[in-house]
RNA sequence: GGCUCGUUGGUCAAGCGGUUAAGACGCCGCCCUCUCACGGCGGAAACAGCGGUUCGAUUCCGCUACGGGCUACCA
């Protein structure tokens, strides 16, 4: 049988990385077996609906490469793929009534006040177990209330005795006492189905074979199975994915600043890197590879290897992985990404084709995320104030005094040089250094400091000379001399 | 509180009764080098605890501890 999985988000805002991973796993499971991957929009909560969130879902799926075969925007044979539209078609009401006829569900007319009175405080938490009050209503009474337009819901009628067992592909068999299964609401008083009901009905009607979802649904799964059984439907394969947490082992929240795909993209991460990273949060391939494209993932994805324990979102490692993607990029493609950033930081350099190319090259091997670039190259545009202590370097055997002396010696020599291109100036300097019996670092370290005002730069002294040119270089060296008290 | 799930270095994560308990990020050291980075080499660092089962447990079972989830007319 052909595998069919689905991603079924609620349009309530940005895509949480936990949801992204669930979507990714659902996608990979389907693609690995040449199955279908569909998108269904679960907008049954009118309160939480956010305008534009559906478009955001389409865009995110597109940016991540998780192409769906069926969905609201692409159509398909089992639509509509938006639950609010299915409500209008009367789908859920029809199935709920079927359950009522089978005594597997019943109308409930209890007021909010009565429901509240059932609540108890346990350990500071509110716990409510419905008492099946309306189950005892006669058919007559129900008809009367319905005719009178009394607000109502439809509840699932769960037994109080016995056990219900279900199997999760990852967690194995899970057995729950039926006494734990409360009579959850299937159809709300506004006529919309709850997630609990719509999910089961739609997964069946849409032919979903593998239900991939977050761990938080594991404890309500027995109730879903009772629904499948009441209808006489096949129970799907369940795959419950573990949580993704922050460094404090708490559910990744908006507070962390990187809880959604959109946040990460804004922070300069590449979609491919995010997908790759998220795939490895809770799953690993047999061969221990880490850098994998979406196609690589499709090839080797085996859902049995999904981990059962929650994973901490390691921002550091994501940065590293993003850097790997940037470094492996074709220089031409990297340039497309880097140029706008360089242009914004150093407009004058970006207009010079040869300088732009050099900047791109020097930055590509050391950048982890694009926003790192300005900090690395800003000094080319302007020499910021610096502490002369950075002239001291133990290994280079330099200090302020030696640096001052070297710079003063060097200025006339560099004044005499015409060609500042890297190779030429490097040759010239090397000659000068050996002539004077110095070590490379003894001269080049202070020179680099004077030119950049930084202990760390994305390139060596001579490359800076080349990009800065003769006049600006000399100016900065003189500034260094004066800062050093010369 | 009840139910339920989880627990291998700081983090991700191999392992599926017998291993010197992989690998990666991060960290530290060395090498390379006109600094940093890249690259190369090396290092520190883990089976939550206690009981079983077994000739033998990180691996199987139980208990405890800790953490998560559910306990909504939210998904």
Calculate the angstrom distance between C1' of B54 and CA of A169: 29
Helices marked H in A148-260: 195-205, 221-231
Q: What integer pLDDT is reported at residue A124 of this predicted model?
A: 75
Q: What integer pLDDT is reported at residue A57 of this predicted model?
A: 96
- Name, of A47-51, A114-118, A197-201, the range with top average pLDDT: A197-201
Across all strands, nucleotide nearest A277 (CA–C1'): B12
CA-to-CA dists, residue A273 to A25, A65, A291, A367, A462, angstroms: 16, 12, 8, 14, 34
Across all strands, nucleotide nearest A393 (CA–C1'): B35
pTM: 0.94
pLDDT tens-digit readout, A225-261 = 999 999 999 999 999 999 899 888 888 877 777 889 9
Nearest protein residue by Cα to C1' of nucleotide B25: A317
Burial class (CB in 10 A: 0-12, 13-18, 19+), A151: exposed
Cβ–Cβ < 8 Å for A44, A84? yes
Q: Which nucleotides of strand B are protein-proximal, with an atom < 7 A from a CB?
A: 1-8, 10-15, 22-26, 33-38, 67-75
pLDDT tens-digit readout, A354-385 = 999 999 999 999 999 999 999 999 999 999 99
pLDDT grade, residue A16 (50/70/90)? very high
Nearest protein residue by Cα to C1' of nucleotide B16: A305
Q: Residue A312: how many CA atoms within 13 Å on its side-chain side?
A: 9
pLDDT grade, residue A123 (50/70/90)? confident
Q: What integer pLDDT is reported at residue A234 of this predicted model?
A: 96
CA-to-CA dists, residue A265 to A259, A322, A443, angstroms: 11, 11, 42
Cβ–Cβ < 8 Å for A318, A20? no
Q: What integer pLDDT is reported at residue A46 of this predicted model?
A: 86
Q: Residue A348: how many CA atoms within 13 Å on its side-chain side?
A: 7
Q: A244-245 and A311-312: which strand pairing?
A: parallel
Burial annotation A363-380 (CB, 10 A radius, 16+ → b, else e): bbeebbbbebbeebbebb
Closest CA to A342 of A368, A378, A383, A367: A378
- Catalytic sites of A, residue numbers: 254
Q: What integer pLDDT is reported at residue A254 of this predicted model?
A: 74
pLDDT tens-digit readout, A29-67 = 999 999 999 999 999 998 889 999 999 999 999 999 999
Q: What integer pLDDT is reported at residue A253 of this predicted model?
A: 73
Residues near A59 by Cβ (< 8 Å), separated by ≥ 6?
Answer: none
Q: Is the pLDDT of residue A166 over 80?
A: yes
pLDDT tens-digit readout, A398-439 = 999 999 999 999 999 999 999 999 999 999 999 999 999 999
Q: What integer pLDDT is reported at residue A47 of this predicted model?
A: 87
Residues near A191 by Cβ (< 8 Å), separated by ≥ 6?
Answer: A87, A93
Calculate the angstrom distance between C1' of B70 and CA of A179: 14
DSSP calls for A316-336: HHHHHHHHHHHHHS-HHHHHH
Closest CA to A258 of A336, A334, A313, A333: A313
Q: Any bridge partners for residue A154, and if so which?
A: A107, A187
Helices marked H in A14-124: 17-32, 53-64, 83-88, 91-101, 112-117
Q: Rounded CA gap, A322 and A94, in Å?
A: 50
Nearest protein residue by Cα to C1' of nucleotide B37: A366
Burial class (CB in 10 A: 0-12, 13-18, 19+), A119: exposed
Residues constituting chain A: 486
Q: Rounded CA gap, A231 and A204, in Å?
A: 10
């Amino acid at each position: 049988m052909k595998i069919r999985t689905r991603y079924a988000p609620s349009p309530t805002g940005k895509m949480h990385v936990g949801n992204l991973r669930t979507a990714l796993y659902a996608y990979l499971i389907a693609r690995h077996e040449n199955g279908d991957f569909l998108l269904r929009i679960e907008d049954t909560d009118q309160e939480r609906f956010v305008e534009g969130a559906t478009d955001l879902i389409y865009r995110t799926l597109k940016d991540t490469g998780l192409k769906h075969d069926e969905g609201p925007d692409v159509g398909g044979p089992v639509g509509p793929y938006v639950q609010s539209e299915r409500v209008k078609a009367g789908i859920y009401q029809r199935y709920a009534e079927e359950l009522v006829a089978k005594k597997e569900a019943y109308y409930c007319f209890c007021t909010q006040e009565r429901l509240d009175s059932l609540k108890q405080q346990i350990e500071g938490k509110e716990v409510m177990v419905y008492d099946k009050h309306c189950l005892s209503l006669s058919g007559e009474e129900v008809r009367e209330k319905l005719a009178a337009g009394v607000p109502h819901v439809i509840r699932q009628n769960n037994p109080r005795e016995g056990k219900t067992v279900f199997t999760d592909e990852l967690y194995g068999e899970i057995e729950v006492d039926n006494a734990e299964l409360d009579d959850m609401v299937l159809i709300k008083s506004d006529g919309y189905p709850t997630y609990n009901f719509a999910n089961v009905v739609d997964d069946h009607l849409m032919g979903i074979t593998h239900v991939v979802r977050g761990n938080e649904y594991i404890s309500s799964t027995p109730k879903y199975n009772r629904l499948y059984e009441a209808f006489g439907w096949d129970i799907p394969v369940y795959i419950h994915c573990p949580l993704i947490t922050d460094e404090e082992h708490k559910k990744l929240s908006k507070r962390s600043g990187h809880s959604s795909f959109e946040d990460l993209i804004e922070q300069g991460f590449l979609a491919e890197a995010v997908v790759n990273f998220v795939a490895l949060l809770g799953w690993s391939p047999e061969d221990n590879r880490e850098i994998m494209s979406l196609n690589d993932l499709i090839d080797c994805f085996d859902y049995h290897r999904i981990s059962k324990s929650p994973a901490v979102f390691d921002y550091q490692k994501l940065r590293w992985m993003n850097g790997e993607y940037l470094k492996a990029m074709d220089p031409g493609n990297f340039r497309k990404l880097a140029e706008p950033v360089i242009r914004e930081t150093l407009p004058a350099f970006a207009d010079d084709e040869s300088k732009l190319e050099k900047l791109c090259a020097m930055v590509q091997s050391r950048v982890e995320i694009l926003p790192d670039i300005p900090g690395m190259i800003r000094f080319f545009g302007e020499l910021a104030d610096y502490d002369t202590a950075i002239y001291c370097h133990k290994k280079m055997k330099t200090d302020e005094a030696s640096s001052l002396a070297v710079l003063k010696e060097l200025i006339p020599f560099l004044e005499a040089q015409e060609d500042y291109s890297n190779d030429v100036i490097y040759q010239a300097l090397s000659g000068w250094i050996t002539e004077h019996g110095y070590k490379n670092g003894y001269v080049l370290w202070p020179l680099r400091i004077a030119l950049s005002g930084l202990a760390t730069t994305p390139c060596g002294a001579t490359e800076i000379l080349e990009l800065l040119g003769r006049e600006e270089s000399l100016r900065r060296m003189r500034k260094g001399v004066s800062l050093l008290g010369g």
